[in-house]
Structure formats: C-alpha cells, structure tokens
Amino acid sequence: MLRGCAGLLRSWALRGPKRGRSFSSEVLHVDHSLPNPSWNEDMRLLFDQFMKKSEDGSWKRLPSYKCNPPERIEDVKIFFPDAKLLKEQMSQAQQFPRSLGEGVGFEYAMFHNHVEDRTVCIFQGGPHLQGVPGFLHGGAIATMIDSALGMCAILTGGIAMTANLNINFRRPIPLCSVVVINCQLDRVEGRKLFVSCNIRSMDEKTLYSEATRGGPEGGGSAPCDVIISVDYQDWSQVLWHLKLAQFKKFKKKNANLCINMSFCLKRGKKPQHAAAAVIWKTRSLPSGLCRQFTRSASRLHP
Amino acid sequence: MIRRGFQAAVRLGQHRALFGGPQVLPRLNPTSAFGSSTDALVSRFCPEKTDLKDYALPNASWCPDMLDLYQEFLEKTKTDGWIKLPSFKSNRDHIQGLKLPSGLAVASDKSDWRIFTRCIQVEGQGYEYVIFFHPSEKKSICLFQPGPYLEGAPGFAHGGSLATMMDETFSKTAYLAGEGLFTVSLNIRFKNLIPVGSLAVLNVHVEKIEDQKLYMSCIAQSRDQQTVYAKCSGIFLQLQLEEESPQ
C-alpha cells in the first residue's frame, strides 16, 4: 500500500493532477512552471536552456499547481488519521509558494534529471518577498529551499516530510534577481533521506547559500558538521588530493562513518570544472586525516 | 547618541537608497562605539505616532487562543516590561532615517516592495502574527497563526512558512538586541506539523553575542506547550546602519 502511495505521488509530481476532478476553479489547473510576463530575461534564458536539455529525454520539467491534488490529500489522511481537514479550509487552501500573485512572489520552475538523479530549480524572487530592504527575505529563501529539496526527496523516495533543515547563508540575494538551486540526494539511511543543495547565481560564480535537509527523524545524530565545497579542475586531481584509496580502507573499518562525496563531472572539449561536496563527521575521523582534507581543500580553493 | 536617535525618530523624511551593487559584507569597525543601546533602537523601531498601518493587530480571522494570549501579553506590556512590536508593510518603514552600509544598498527602491510576511494581504489567509519583545531579558514571543494560503501538506502549514516566521522573529529580536541584520545560518528541527488555522507560540532567546554575531534559539510549540512543533537555532550578523545624509 505504501509503495502504491509512493508511486502515486511520484507520478503526480511528474504529471500533475488529472483534469476534471473536484476543484471548482479553472485557475487551479494552470501549470505555473511556465514563462509568464513577469519573468525577466535571465529567467527566460535559463528556462530555454533547460528546455533544450530536455529534448534528449534526460531532463524533465516538473509541473507545478496551486492546489494539492485529491490523491495527495487521501495519502495524508492515511498517515495523519487525526488530522481535522475542514472542508471549508480545504477549498480555500493553496500550495504556499504558489499562493502569491503572478510576478510578485515566487516565480520558479523545477527540472529533474533521472540519469544524474538531481533536481534543479530556477527561481526569481518577486518584490513581495523582501526582508532587509532590497534583498530577499531569509524565510523566502528557506521556503524555496524546502520546496526544492522536498521535491528532490519525493521523486527519489516517495512521500517525505522535512525533519531537519540546515541552511548556511553566504551572501544576501538581491530582490528580483534570478538564482539556480541545485539539489541532489546524498544518501538514504533506512527511512531517512539526506538531500543537499546550493544556491548559485546564473553564471555559477557566486555562491549564495548551502543547505541540507534530512528526512523523517528517528533519533539519529545530525549528519553534517562541516561542509566544504571546492571546485576541481579535473577528477584525477580530486582522487589524488583526497587519497581516495586510503579513505575507502578507513571507511571499511568504521561502519558508522558518514562520508559522502557527490560530484558532477561535465565532459566536453574545453576543460570543465568538477564540483565536489565533501561532508563528514569530524569526530569520526582521526585528526591527521582531517588536517589532510583541510590542507588539500585550501590549496585548491584558497 | 540617544538624543540623536530620538531626533531621527521625530524626523519624518523620505528615504532613498544609495545606488551601488552588493559587495562582500563590510566588517564592523571594532574601534567605533558599538551601536545604539537597545532602548534607542526600540524607540526608533516603534514610532509613537505614525500614519503607517500596523498589521500586528487583532482581526476577525484570529482564533480564540491567539486573542487570549494577545490580551495577556498586552497586559504584560504595562507591568512586566514587554513591548509590542508594530509590523509595517516594509522593513524600510521601521528604519526611517537610516540606510544600509554603503556597498550593500541596492539600486532603485520601489514603493511596491513589501516584507515577505505581510505579502498576503487578505485577512486570515496568510501570516497572522504579532511579536512581543522584552528588552532587558533579550527575548521575544511571537504568536503565529498560519492561514490556508500557507499550506504544504494538505491541512498543515508549509515547513517554509514556519521557517519564515522563525527567521522573521529572529530578525526583529536580533536587530533590537544587537543590531543584527543578516541571517548567517538557520538550523531547524521539525517535530510536528502545524494544522492550518491553529496557534503556534514561538519563544526566542538570545544565547550570546560574540564575534560580530548573535546566537539565538527558538522553540515553536502549541499554547499549552504539550506539542512541540519545531526547534531552531539561528545566527545573525551584526551590522550598523548608517544615518541618511540630510537632503
């Protein structure tokens, strides 16, 4: 039954709710992850780039609607039988990031790559998302991160609720600018899904924030104490500097060690950057190895 | 310093932002006398007479729990040193006469920009909240009622809406307790979902202030404290706002 629900939810995420169901308004069936007049040039450019990538089938655009589909409401009733889902409220309810008007709030579109198993969200924050004058509200950024990571988790693991959300803000994001949220699934531990993301500017040169999100809590310890993002010129450099073989030997002896390396390699005619995110529990590593990591990372990324 | 603060509060000027692109955040100058006192900040933040609309007032959509607690804290503002913070359409209305440090101020400040937590203007559909601040103990309480437009899972508030509310309460507390301006990090542990239309009480404490950063913690729970909705720790960066040059 659970597998069936998960499958239902995944198909909903990819295809959207069936038409002709109980919602009264036509407006609620509109797919909002499509360009509209409020999108600026940068946003449209990014959207077109990703739509082009979808042509070969590896990337897929995820539709986004104002309301939860009936299937999802039924699924929630299964997991939360005590929930008082009042009929009145249900008819008025709207999915949070889509409840603001066109152009003034969250304008975003999500794309999923099933080959690399990662999700990308392009996001333009509107004028009603202000915090410090001229910049995006930290909570708006948190909402977007939660939505994007949530989608990433659902597509991989079925129904998921946020248990932990850990965000490091590096730079304030100017209002009405376009950013790219790159999400990926790091690992699965039983019922827990660990997903992480980073927010970068369009040209990927500015890092705005990094976040990790853990799935249902089961009394486990926090997964991340230290996060280092480094840009590597070549994967062979990564292997050499991180002494992967030594690390793997160490990992075999220590089953509880949480080490996760996720990387993206783009091959092409020009040398491409490979980005590697290394996450570890510092107290599980001997101090010598920690120092090695820090030295390698600082040499490559001063 | 305090006199200057009061004078600036009385002055009702239009503020204009400096033109300039955002750069790396400037370091606080440790040699300058750090910041205004909490009282000065509070008096500037909560102008006594203003034409601006205060959104943090009871309306028909507030649930009975929220109204009760609101009255309770309103009584405490007279006796126990609590202050009710007004909530205007934009943060800029709270800092009249001040501007962001040069290098951070962004180009073109449009009048239709609003603070995120007051973006949904329909009564009762979005964020309904009020924040009470205690200057001497550096703590706050926020009464928060999420509306149907903040839905995530059907019938429950979106995780992001609670994160936003915590960030907003942290932000106001950090500013009044120590001129904290930008969020550096947020670590939220969700325990339970908040049903749409019910009350969540957020208790925020400032743990310590060191190294140009404010460390705060928050617990969101139901009124009877039987259900804990989430726990959060946040770090804010201290940055002094600059006086606007007189036009």
Cβ-based contacts of A68 with chain B (< 8 Å): 151, 153-154
The pLDDT of residue B240: 81
Question: CA angle, B130 as apex, B128 and B136 as ends, to 5°?
Answer: 160
Contact B149, A94 (CB under 8 A): yes
Distance from the A193 Cα atom to the nearest Cα atom in chain B, whole angstroms: 15
Cβ-nearest to B113 among A127, A165, A168: A127
pLDDT by residue (tens digit) across B148-170? 888 887 888 888 899 999 999 99
- Chain A interface, best mutation among B89, B169, B171, B190, by max A CB count within 10 A: B190
Q: Catalytic residue positions of B?
A: 167
B231 touches chain A (CB under 8 A): no
Which residue on chain B is closest to A208 by alpha carbon?
Answer: B184
Distance from the A172 Cα atom to the nearest Cα atom in chain B, whole angstroms: 8
Is the CB of B110 less than 8 angstroms away from the CB of A127?
Answer: yes
Note whether ipTM > 0.90 here. Answer: no
The rounded distance, in Å, linking the Cα atoms of A285 and B157 is: 39
Distance from the B107 Cα atom to the nearest Cα atom in chain A, whole angstroms: 8
Is the CB of B106 less than 8 angstroms away from the CB of A84?
Answer: no
Residuewise pLDDT in 10s, chain A (302 residues): 545 444 444 544 444 433 333 344 455 567 788 888 888 888 999 899 889 988 888 888 888 877 666 655 555 555 555 555 444 445 556 677 777 778 888 899 999 988 888 899 999 988 889 888 888 899 999 999 988 888 888 887 677 778 888 898 888 888 888 999 988 888 887 778 888 888 888 877 777 787 887 655 332 222 322 233 333 344 444 444 444 445 555 455 443 333 333 333 333 323 323 333 343 333 334 444 444 444 544 454 44
The pLDDT of residue A175: 86
Grouping H, G, I as helix, E, B as strand and the rest as coil, residue A86 is coil
The rounded distance, in Å, linking the Cα atoms of A36 and A44 is: 9
Beta strand residue intervals within B11-169, DSSP E: 83-85, 98-99, 127-134, 139-146
Distance from the A11 Cα atom to the nearest Cα atom in chain B, whole angstroms: 17
Non-local (6+) Cβ contacts of A95 within 8 A are A64, A65, A66, A67, A68, B151, B152, B158
Is the CB of B171 less than 8 angstroms away from the CB of A100?
Answer: no
Cβ-nearest to A99 among B114, B120, B193: B120
The pLDDT of residue B232: 94
